[in-house]
Amino acid sequence: MRAFIELSGEHPTLPRAEALAAIAAERLDLRSASFAGPLLRIDAIGPMERVARRIGLAHTVCEELVSGDFEAIRAFARDMDLAGRTFRVRARGLGTDLDPSTLEGPLGADLGRTGHVDLDFPVDDFRLLVADEFVLGRVIHRVDRSRLESTKVAHRAFSRPISLHPKFARALVNLSRVPMAGTVLDPFCGTGGVVLEAAAMGMRPIGSDRDRAMVSGTRAALRGIASDGHVALADAGCLPLRPGAVHGVATDPPYGRASSTKGERIRSLYDRAFRAFADLLPRGVHAAVVLPDPSMADEAPDSFEFVEAHALRVHRSLVRHFCVFVRV
């Protein structure tokens, strides 16, 4: 299937990395991938809808129908037979000053030869993007950005100012490349941002934390949305799990600032945690870890290979580095 993903613009590399990690997690056979600004185009075989439902840092995921100049798009639209179905067509210029209505009108007229316009609940939702060429697709998934906004920690019953925004928690889970039916571990679960997002994605989340209040808060929050998740009181350096029990780690450890390490040096904590991950994870499995400084990636033992890192500036004195490692 040829598809394109309309990535969100909140970061220069993280949205693309998230989408590619989701594709890898669902074991799609990726034949090709190219990107221009916020447009990621792929040719892949496998369950694209499942990939689409995972992604947070995007607007739409579309099946690609045709590309070329506007005349080629219109010729394709005139040849389509919608058999009386309802449709909508929306255009967007990527990096161009474009008035969408100048494209939507003529294209809508072409499609209207065999279908009927319904701007609210169409059967066929077409998306025309204009980058270095025109690309027409049928929307297979629209990312629910408002849900991601409404579930941020300030709106949850158990709240502390340490939590990742749900869209970045989701990106972190995707970077861990855990498949949809898999088990993901967050051993520094805090208020449960990562665990809750993994549950919303259909995974089995396991969370743990050394702080009793965090464990009971996350457990209560999870109870409402997932039946088979699990939250335990545990030190991240001494995890009560047998080797191979999880399909990946997605975690946001303390940075040695707001969230306490109870006096332990941050490098010592990371060193202990990475050793515990190494004992737990089988070869080929990923750990996605947010670090406050890219040099902290050196704390990963030789049993981990560095895969990628994406720096996200939070404010003047905090940059979160979304780092990915694979167990070798």
Residues at the contact surface with ligand SAM, assessed by CB under 6 A: 162-164, 187-188, 190-194, 209-211, 214, 235-236, 252-254, 259, 261, 269
Pick 104 or 235: Cβ nearer ligand SAM? 235
Which CB, 113 or 257, lies closer to ligand SAM? 257
Amino acid (one-letter) located at 292: P
Nearer to ligand SAM, 108 or 207 (CB): 207
Shortest distance, position 73 Cβ to ligand SAM, whole Å = 44
Based on CB atoms, which residue is closest to ligand SAM, 131 or 194?
A: 194
E strand spans, the chain:
2-7, 29-36, 39-45, 58-68, 86-93, 116-117, 124-130, 134-142, 183-186, 204-209, 230-233, 249-251, 286-291, 304-315, 318-327
- 115 vs 207, beta carbon nearer ligand SAM: 207
Cross-strand partners of 124: 87
Please, what is the end-to-end C-alpha distance for the chain in angstroms?
32
CB of 316 to ligand SAM, least distance (A): 19
Tokens 């991240």: give the residue. Answer: 236
- Nearest approach, Cβ of residue 186 and ligand SAM (Å): 7
| Nearer Cβ to ligand SAM (73/291) | 291
Q: Which of 243, 268, 265 is nearest to 256 (CA)?
A: 265
Helix (H, G, I), strand (E, B) or coil at 326: strand
Q: Which two tokens stand for residue 164?
A: 């990742």
Count Cβ atoms below 10 Å from residue 235 Cβ, excluding itself: 17
Q: Alpha-carbon distance 265 to 261, whole Å?
A: 7
Least distance in angstroms from the C-beta of 226 to ligand SAM: 15
CB of 72 to ligand SAM, least distance (A): 47
DSSP state of 155: G
Least CB distance from residue 219 to ligand SAM, whole Å? 13
